[in-house]
Amino acid sequence: MKDNFRHAGKSWLAATGAGLALLLLAAACVRNPYAATNKVYRRQAKALARQLLAPPALLADSLPATPYWVGTVNFNLRKPSYVIIHHTAQHSTEQTLKTFTLTKTQVSAHYVIGRDGQVYHMLNDYLRAWHGGVARWGGITDINSVSIGIELDNDGTEPFQEAQLGSLIKVLASLKRTYNIPTANFIGHGDIAPTRKNDPSALFPWQRLAARGFGLWYDASVLTDTTAAPFAADSLGQPLPGLTPREALRIVGYDTQDLNAAILAFKRHFAPASLTPVLTEQDRRILCNIYRKSL
């Protein structure tokens, strides 16, 4: 009996070992199609590391030289304070990965999330991706330097997939926790570039994200509160002279040089049922509510 158990045990171990060996062999045989561009990534990261290690040099060469260099011991890496959500406007995750690994495209993002929920972390969060382009939010005009870019595999006309949204929420939770990103600082590409972009499209579930702490959303009560007087009084009933929809949009963060574009961007985010550059009474109540939350 013992011999039978011993024999069965050896057979099981042999089978398990063979199975493990096959798995390892299969993993070793999987060829990474981006091995070459990964080498470029590592080379560029090393070049940046060398720049960081070198003693800082004065930008103005006419300044008097000091007898020696003194490096402070109190520093760390700059942390991102915004998250910008995009849709890829392409037809597959592979197409986007290819786009972001071609030098000629000059575009990139920190994360790409496929329809199936697969997350590709393409760039260290502390490094600057090229995803925002010409954009503005409040007084910030160099969005890329303060933000993390997340691209969702979506052509801009289709609903976002549940697996994709589930992975997005997990990524956002990690980013918010790691970098202490304020709730209001989760916004879309169309918010920061209203004249050029409309992503992540009017189909994106901003309310669902806001319920988890990623982005602002209005109070449902403003939709039925007919006594509200948007842009007329503050919460204490005091007049707000000079406050107009344009000013409210500007304070929220929108670039209002093209007011119609700013209104469309706002409505795409908060009131996508009617995408016209006209603020209805309900739109005004929503805007007033978001404006107060932005203060």
Measured CA to CA, the distance from residue 118 to residue 97 in angstroms comes to 12
8 Å CB contact between 115 and 154 = yes
Amino acid (one-letter) located at 188: G
Three-class SS of 43-96: HHHHHHHHHHHCCCCCCCCCCCCCCCCCCCCCCCCCCCCEEEEEECCCCCHHHH
Known catalytic residue: 151? yes
DSSP 188: E
Measured CA to CA, the distance from residue 1 to residue 210 in angstroms comes to 64
8 Å CB contact between 149 and 87 = no
8 Å CB contact between 100 and 108 = yes
Nearest partner of 165 among 109, 218, 211, 98, judged by Cα = 211
Task: Give the number of other CB atoms < 10 A from CB of residue 212.
Answer: 13
Extract the runs of DSSP E, i.e. beta strands, from the chain.
Answer: 82-87, 111-113, 119-121, 147-152, 186-188
Say which of 94, 151, 162, 247 is annotated catalytic.
Answer: 151
**Catalytic (active-site) positions:** 151
